[in-house]
Amino acid sequence: METWGNKLDKQKLLNEYQKADFAKNGVLVIKQFYDLKQDIFPIQSSIYEIIGLVMQRHGLSIVRQPFNGSNFDDGYTELIAANRQFGSEVYDLVKQIPAFLRLISSTCSEQLFCDLRGTDLAGIGAASYGIRIDNPFEEQFRSQWHQEFLSQPQSLDGLVFWTPLVPILPDMGPVVVCLESHKDGLCKYSKSKPYAQKTGAYKIGIFNEEQVVGRYKQVAPLTEPGDLIIMDFLTIHQSGFNISHRSRWSTQFRFFNFREPTGMRIGWKASVTAGTDIESIFSDYFVETDQ
C-alpha cells in the first residue's frame, strides 16, 4: 500500500457493501467523495474566470454577478446565445484547469481505482477526461447509449469517474445507467440512421439499441457537487435530456489497469477523441446496417 506515495486514506476506500453493490450493478454513487471547498470550488472559480476572459476576448459586455461558487457559470447562457462557438472555446479551455487535473490525479481517486480493481498500476487514458457542458435542448453532443470501453480502449476493467459541478435535477438530464449490463460483455455497434447527423464517434450506436437496452432496469441518480458516480467500462449508459434552463456541467475522467490482459494486447489505446481507430480495433463488434 506504499504504492501511491501518499498515506492511504482508508476513509475514502469502499466498504464491503459498496464493493458488492458495485460488482452487482456496475455503477455506484458515492456521496461527497470529493471535498467541496478544497477540490471543487477551485475548479468552479477557474471556470468563472475563463468564461469572463472568453467574453472579453470577443468584446462582449455581459453583466455578471461576482463569483460565489455555485454561480460559476453566470453569463454562460448569454455567451452561447451570442455565438455557440464561444461555448466550444470554453469547453476546450476548462479541461486545462490545474485544479481539474489535480482532481483527476488525486490520490483518493487513484487508490479507489486500485483498491476496487486489485491493481497497483493505474493509468489515466490519453484524452480520456474533460468537463462536459450539456446545453439545454442540444442533441448534437449528447451521449447516446454506449459502453465506455468502445471509445476508451485502455483496459477492460476501467472505471468512469463522473462528478457534477452543478446540482443535477431531473430536468437537467442525469446520466441514465442500465443496471447489471456490464455482466453481458461488449455489445455490437453500428453506424445507424438515428445518429447519422451527429458528430464523430457520436454517429456510432449500440446495434439493436432498443432491444438491448430494454433488457435492463435503469437508474438516473441525482447528484450534487462533491458526489461521485463510478461506472464499469462495460456498463451501458447515456446522457439524459437537459430540458432545464441551465447548462449541465460535469467532469468525467477514466482510470484503467495497466496489468489487464486485453488492454495490454490492444496496447492501452487513447480515447477515440484522440483519433484511435476503434472500428479496426473492435472490427468483430461492428455491424453493417442500413437501418
Cite the DSSP H helix spans in the chain: 16-25, 41-57, 76-82, 84-94, 98-104, 107-117, 148-151, 209-213, 261-266, 278-281
Q: Compute the least distance from the CB of residue 163 to ligand AKG, in Å.
A: 10
- Where would I find the beta strands (DSSP E) of 129-223? 130-134, 159-164, 176-178, 189-191, 204-206, 218-219
Nearer to ligand AKG, 97 or 175 (CB): 175
What amino acid occupies position 231?
Answer: M
Q: Which residues in 135-194 contact Fe ion (CB under 5 A)?
A: 148
Among 162, 189, 249, 255, binds ligand AKG (CB under 6 A): 162
CB 285 within 8 A of CB 150: yes
131 binds, among Fe ion, ligand AKG, none (CB under 5 to 8 A by kind): none
Among 148, 157, 209, 232, binds ligand AKG (CB under 6 A): 148
What is the spatial distance between Cα 206 and Cα 178, in angstroms, rounded to a whole number? 13
250 binds, among ligand AKG, Fe ion, none (CB under 5 to 8 A by kind): ligand AKG
Nearest residue to ligand AKG, scored by beta-carbon proximity:
239
> Does 106 sit near ligand AKG (CB under 6 A)?
no
Q: Which residues in 212-271 contact ligand AKG (CB under 6 A)?
A: 237, 239, 250, 252
What amino acid occupies position 73?
Answer: D
Nearer to ligand AKG, 55 or 175 (CB): 175
Nearer to Fe ion, 148 or 260 (CB): 148
Reduced to 3 states (helix: H, G, I; strand: E, B; else coil), residue 81 is helix
Grid coordinates representing 83?
A: 455565438
What is the spatial distance between Cα 36 and Cα 266, in angstroms, rounded to a whole number? 38
Chain residues in the site for ligand AKG (CB under 6 A): 132, 143, 148, 160, 162, 175, 237, 239, 250, 252
Chain residues in the site for Fe ion (CB under 5 A): 148
